Amino acid sequence: MCCSIPIRTAAEFEKGVISLDNHVARFENGGFRHFFAGTEVPALTTSITLAPNQGELQKGTVLGIVTANKQGKLVDIEATDGSKVAQYVLAEDVDTGTVAIGAVVFKTGIFNADVLIVAEDDTLLAHAEELRQVNIHYRTDY
């Protein structure tokens, strides 16, 4: 079923998720959650360009698209550049660096809410309807 998963960084401890490997998340309390929460909606991927200067984005980051340049950014309900509307889920850890970079994202699927990441002053619930419109769903009932 599950094998040992290495612990990564202190920042991940603060978020509650210690590690996320092979689609399994390990939590501080010792629990495990699968990244995916169902197969009723297939997990389909596509590629997008991520905006630079966002630092390291983790797998599970919910992304919006900047209207002006069509680049992906961490979704933030307070954003005024178009990225406040959730459209994708990042499929891999990415260091955005100082130039725009390509990344693989999920454009559909069912995910466990615990492994999805939004901006610090935002909530996943605020984006539930937007995500449903693009066939991305999440579950909180384990």
Q: How far is CA 21 from CA 18, 72, 80, in A?
A: 10, 23, 33
User: What average pLDDT does the structure give for the chain?
Assistant: 83
Query: What span, in angstroms and rounded, lies between the C-alpha atoms of 32 and 11?
Result: 18
DSSP-based three-state secondary structure for 93: coil
- Decide if pLDDT at 79 tops 70: yes
Global confidence as pTM: 0.79
Query: What span, in angstroms and rounded, lies between the C-alpha atoms of 55 and 53?
Result: 6
Burial 103-116 (b: 16+ CB within 10 A, else e): bebbbbbbbbbbbb
**Ranges 6-15, 27-36, 104-113, most confident:** 104-113
What are the φ and ψ backbone dihedral angles of 8, each rounded to 5 degrees? Answer: -105, -105
114 — pLDDT class (breaks 50, 70, 90): confident
Residue 45: how many CB atoms within 10 A of its CB? 14
**What are the structural domains of the chain?**
1-34 (no CATH), 36-139 (2.40.300.10)
